[in-house]
Chain A
Amino acid sequence: MTAMGDAVLEVADLRVEFRTDEGRAQAVRGVNYQLHRGEVLGIVGESGSGKSVASMAVMGLLPGSARVFGSVRFGGRSGGTELLGASDSEFSRVRGQGISMIFQDPMSSLNPVYTVGYQIAEAIRAHHDVSRAAARKQAMELLEAVSIPNPTERVDNYPHELSGGMRQRVVIAIAMANRPEVIIADEPTTALDVTVQAQILEALRTAKVQTGAAMLLITHDLGVIAGQADRVLVMYAGRVVEAGTVEEIFYTPRMPYTLGLLGSQPRLDERRTRLHPISGVPPSVIDLPSGCPFAPRCPLAAPVCEAEEPPLAATGSNGHLSACHFSDQLAGLEPGDLFRPLSRDTAS
């Protein structure tokens, strides 16, 4: 693990609220993390956990109806910049040069009326004073770096002439264009087939190695996290409920929710066994009850869990954090020790 001093992105007490007809929705409720130079930080969670809203807040891409609190500091070569409440021009400077983004749907970042080569070249020329020809040459190199076959031809293709996987690789090439310090990838492979997903993950690795950027990888796929991330944050109901190295999270989880997720996942390397689902459904972020939001689904829940929401505190080895009153009791437990292999769960 890297030292604390070299954080390129520092998120502190990030909170996001939406006003809805039914009430105040607390989509993100106090998220803290540091992204260190060169590392891959995975954020994993199910739908509604707030993982995507939290990263959209970091990128300044939430709609006006969202109220964002806390601090997001981008501290790179250009010196520390507070991103929350930054002006549009400051933001676009940071976005191009400091932080690049990759989304689930590549078409949301590509302009359908320009060729991909033009779009990559534009991304380069927006921040660097180079000739068109030089930018085009760089664009071809970038396309080659992300393993697009025949880059000399593909550079003149329009986005609609490419397959989904190829478009996503173009987006990665654009993200690499200005050698960013941070790449934020939000569900970059979710819409893709597995064989294409493997290609994209490979391209992401290339992007990371070639630019030396730190990466924030947001996904619901535990397998992707296991293969790519150095450190992992597990999110549930708008909070980080467990944080640690990838090995800590997968081999010695200290939060019942993480254990439940691992027990629910059918695995390719194991023969048919009974899965251990988590009973119930995630809580609505409107009118969250007091106490631990996982308590209604948690087999360890005790009166203290409903009274008091556990803080994210150190547990087990150094740097491993868990938000559970009973995290120490989880040492050495398997999912099956905690969760029953139910199929009919009338609790929800």
Chain B
Amino acid sequence: MTVLQPVLSVRNLVKHFPVRGRGLLRRRVSDVHAVCDVSFDLYPHETLGLVGESGCGKTTTARVLLNLQPATAGHIRYQGTELTSLPRKAMQRLRRELQIVFQDPYAALDPRLPANEIIAEPLRIHGLYSPSASDSIASDSCGRDKVRELLALVGLKPEHGNRFPHEFSGGQRQRIGIARALALRPKVLILDEPVSALDVSVQAGVLNLLADLQAQLGLSYLFVSHDLSVVRHVADRIAVMYLGRIVETGTSDELFSAPAHPYTQALISAIPLPDPRKERARERIILTGDVPNPANPPSGCRFRTRCPLFTAQLTDPQRHRCTTEIPPLTDHGHGHPAACHYADLPSLSAVRALREREGR
């Protein structure tokens, strides 16, 4: 992997949303720090999982990558082209290569258009569609056959193309969304919670489909999700986000076998296993409190307000460092980087200590 050039390279990405007052002038009162100093690389043919809970900035990151929202600061480089400063025209051309699949299969499809039209839409926009060009000759343009081909590619019956979105099930709708994203033959697919809205038996089919498409078309995936079990299943590498920052990143195996950041540890331990004996035997780290308001994030380490290490194990001088100093994303001897000053402390004991103190 070292010799490969990343297809997508993100450096120090920042995205702030202004919070405006209610008055006539709607003055900027403060900023929501949705994404803060995020850097990662996406390599060809790999799946990078971007994981976190609601409000961690993972979805905003996905939107900013596609220039659907402008970045506040930082760089996004796609195959050497800087996207943040790209003129609109040039970005339109690049949209053929960078595509996105949305979370909600009900909202992401125009309810007024039949499936055929939804899938043909990107082709039309990029001047690649002519309904008469029924034979896929050498020409660049393609017609209804292309749409039928795409429907078949995602596992739908081409003759169902006349149906409207509401006539499909959730899983089928998500497949239409995938077909639309694939119509322009992209190289990078950003999957924003692509299976979160689906029932488990249907979700499995879509996950298998995404795996097949990746192998078949050589796609790179940025897989954004809150569900660690799904990400564990699809991702080669994982970046964990908390309150706008990446707190830990590594290969899927590294992260699950030796999670270094207390948040990652808590996240993994909080996911219920569909296995009664294992599930009941697990030691669970229960975080206290809720995610702080991103308009007013804690100083220093953003996780410290909920951190079991911080509350139960650290000494006051150590805590001082957590409150004042933003932990950099560095390796603490786990073989992969984590953004915690004390990632090298044994952590599960912290939980035990906490539990004993609380007398549970």
Contacts and interface: CB of A to CB of B under 8 A. Distances in A.
Interface in B222-238: 226-230, 232-234
Nearest to A344: B155
Given A268-B229, A278-B201, A346-B157, A195 B287 contact: yes
Contacts of B111: none
A275 interface: yes
Contacts of A268: 228-229, 232, 256, 268, 271, 273
Given A223-B279, A266-B207, A275-B233, 16 more contacts: A166-B290, A194-B228, A196-B290, A221-B272, A223-B273, A226-B272, A226-B274, A247-B276, A251-B276, A264-B200, A264-B201, A265-B274, A268-B228, A271-B232, A277-B205, A348-B172
A206 B93 CA distance: 57
Interface in B274-291: 274-280, 284, 286-291
Interface stretch (B21-29, B185-193, B208-216, B341-349): B208-216
Contacts of A337: none
A343 B209 contact: yes
A226 B279 contact: yes
Contacts of A197: 270, 272
Interface stretch (A54-62, A116-124, A125-133, A255-263): A255-263
A202 B287 CA distance: 11
Nearest to A46: B199
A260 B155 contact: no
Contacts of A274: 208, 211
B303 to A, nearest CB: 11
B204 interface: yes
A88 interface: no
Interface string A130-173: 00000000000000000101000000000000010110000000
A263 B204 contact: yes
Most central of A197, A199, A344 by chain B CB within 10 Å: A344
Contacts of A275: 204-205, 207-208, 233
A227 B284 CA distance: 11
Interface of B: 53-54, 152-157, 169, 171-172, 199-205, 207-212, 226-230, 232-234, 252-253, 256, 266-280, 284, 286-291, 306
Interface string A201-235: 11000000000000000001111111100000000
Nearest to A222: B274
B243 to A, nearest CB: 12
B239 to A, nearest CB: 17
Nearest to B175: A344
Contact of B229 (A147, A224, A247, A267): A267
B171 A226 contact: no
A47 B287 contact: no
A261 B201 contact: yes
Given A268-B268, A272-B234, A344 B276 contact: no
Contacts of B256: 268
Interface of A: 46-47, 147, 149, 163, 165-166, 193-199, 201-202, 220-227, 246-247, 250-251, 260-279, 281-282, 341-346, 348
A227 B204 contact: no
Most chain A CB inside 10 Å of its own CB: which residue of B153, B199, B289, B291? B199
A343 B212 contact: yes
B169 A348 contact: yes
Nearest to A262: B274
Q: Looking at chain A's contact residues, is the secondary structure mostly helix, strand, loop, or mixed?
A: loop
A261 B203 CA distance: 10
Nearest to A271: B253
B348 to A, nearest CB: 15
Contacts of A247: 276-277
Given A274-B208, A277-B204, A343-B212, A267 B155 contact: no
Nearest to A49: B199
A243 B115 CA distance: 40
A195 B270 contact: yes
Given A194-B226, A343-B209, A226 B200 contact: no
Contacts of B284: 198
Contacts of A165: 290
A328 to B, nearest CB: 23
A269 B233 contact: no
B273 A269 contact: yes
A220 B279 contact: no
A266 B229 contact: yes
Contacts of B273: 223, 226-227, 267-269
B204 A194 contact: no
A149 B289 contact: yes
Scoring B155, B156, B273 by chain A CB atoms within 10 A of each residue's CB, the highest score goes to: B273
